[in-house]
């Protein structure tokens, strides 16, 4: 009896002290983590209560969020959005731009990293990587400026076209040119940068495995498939989950900068519409907030679906 009790006591005490010891051991890291936690709380969690605006009748700046002058309207703003003539075009534009961008943009850095990794000369690979990273640092406005220089009415492409006897085309006024320009320029800017994470994962591959594969008779390409690719697979699933989660979360800036009256039919996205409604003209901030919130909910749902699926099939997941 007594020994059982004593040992139980011992267990509980050691458990308590263990948790305490862990806390103490990790205290320097916890202290370092503290500012990040504060910032995330202040700027990412605290403002969430602002979504309440979506349930106001009509929020005007200066109005109380918790006690609106116009009163509460429940889900009316959401209903209005679903019935808005813009609803389906917005959904379609956002979805298509994102899904095409994803299909083109997701595999690209993976392929680039595998190719860089298989490059014989280490020096060559390093130089190429640096070159590929360059465009990432170009600011959005400059990028759009470059697009204009290349594809504008008096831009390079049109100059060449004309010199070959063709007609000048107003690419920025064409609906069909918007998505290719948008997606290709995005990928051009970021394929090298996004490859970094895979290159890092690849540098951890044991060279002995490649040598074993060489002796097993694997060609260069077979080694990429059977040694390199499996090594970055966990990273690929992680990135896949994260990009599916952000699939519909395209920002308004670039589309807005590329928007013209000519391509508005495909370039008006949920985010640009929110910007227009909430800030630019014809303001209805409650309505805009409701649309934004709706967009976020879609993202969260996608993220959960992607994570659950990945967990089930590959044991890789965010949580």
Which spans in the chain are helix H?
A: 2-25, 27-40, 76-83, 87-105, 107-118, 122-133, 140-151, 156-163, 175-203, 207-215, 220-223, 229-245, 253-258, 264-267, 270-275, 285-314
Closest CA to 102 of 281, 205, 247, 288: 247
Three-state SS at 224 = helix
Per-residue tokens: 194: 């996004």
Residue 219 Cβ, how far from other proteins at the closest point, in Å? Answer: 8
Residue 213 Cβ, how far from other proteins at the closest point, in Å? Answer: 8
- Near other proteins by CB under 8 A: residue from 12, 131, 206, 265: 206
Q: Which stretch binds other proteins (CB under 8 A): 21-29, 167-175, 223-231, 299-307?
A: 223-231
Contact characters 233-252, other proteins, x per CB under 8 A: x-------------------
Judge residue 59's burial from the number of C-beta atoms within 10 Å of its C-beta, 0-12 exposed, 13-18 middle, 19 or more buried.
buried
212 binding other proteins? (CB under 8 A)? yes
- Cβ nearer to other proteins, comparing 165 with 208: 208
Residue 201 Cβ, how far from other proteins at the closest point, in Å? Answer: 13
- Near other proteins by CB under 8 A: residue from 115, 222, 280, 301: 222
**What number of chain residues touch other proteins (CB under 8 A)?**
18
Three-state SS at 71 = coil
11 binding other proteins? (CB under 8 A)? no
Question: Contact residues for other proteins (CB under 8 A)?
Answer: 122, 206, 208-209, 211-218, 222, 226-227, 230-231, 233
């Amino acid at each position: 009896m007594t020994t059982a009790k004593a040992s139980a006591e011992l267990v509980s005490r050691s458990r308590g002290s263990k948790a305490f010891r862990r806390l103490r051991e990790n205290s320097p890291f916890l202290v370092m983590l503290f500012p990040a936690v504060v910032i995330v709380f202040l700027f990412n969690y605290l403002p969430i209560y602002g979504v309440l605006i979506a349930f106001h009748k009509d929020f005007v700046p200066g109005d109380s969020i918790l006690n609106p002058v116009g009163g509460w309207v429940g889900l009316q703003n959401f209903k209005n959005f679903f019935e808005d003539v813009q609803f389906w075009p917005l959904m379609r534009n956002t979805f298509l731009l994102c899904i095409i961008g994803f299909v083109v943009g997701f595999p690209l850095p993976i392929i680039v990293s595998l190719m860089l990794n298989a490059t014989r000369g280490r020096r060559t690979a390093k130089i190429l990587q640096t070159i590929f990273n360059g465009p990432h640092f170009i600011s959005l406005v400059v990028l759009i400026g470059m697009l204009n220089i290349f594809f504008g009415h008096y831009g390079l492409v049109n100059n060449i076209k004309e010199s070959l006897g063709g007609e000048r085309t107003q690419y920025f006024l064409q609906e069909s040119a918007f998505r290719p320009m948008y997606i290709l320029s995005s990928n051009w800017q970021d394929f090298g940068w996004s490859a970094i994470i895979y290159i890092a994962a690849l540098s951890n591959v044991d060279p002995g495995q490649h040598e074993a594969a060489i002796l097993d008779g694997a060609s260069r390409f077979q080694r990429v498939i059977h040694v390199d690719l499996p090594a970055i697979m966990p990273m690929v699933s992680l990135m896949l989950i994260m990009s599916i989660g952000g699939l519909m979360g395209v920002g308004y800036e670039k589309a807005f900068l590329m928007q013209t009256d000519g391509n508005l039919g495909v370039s008006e996205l949920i985010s640009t519409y929110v910007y227009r409604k909430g800030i630019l003209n014809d303001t209805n901030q409650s309505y805009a907030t409701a649309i934004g919130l709706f967009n976020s909910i879609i993202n969260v749902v996608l993220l959960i679906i992607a994570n659950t699926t990945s967990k089930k099939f590959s044991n890789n997941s965010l949580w």
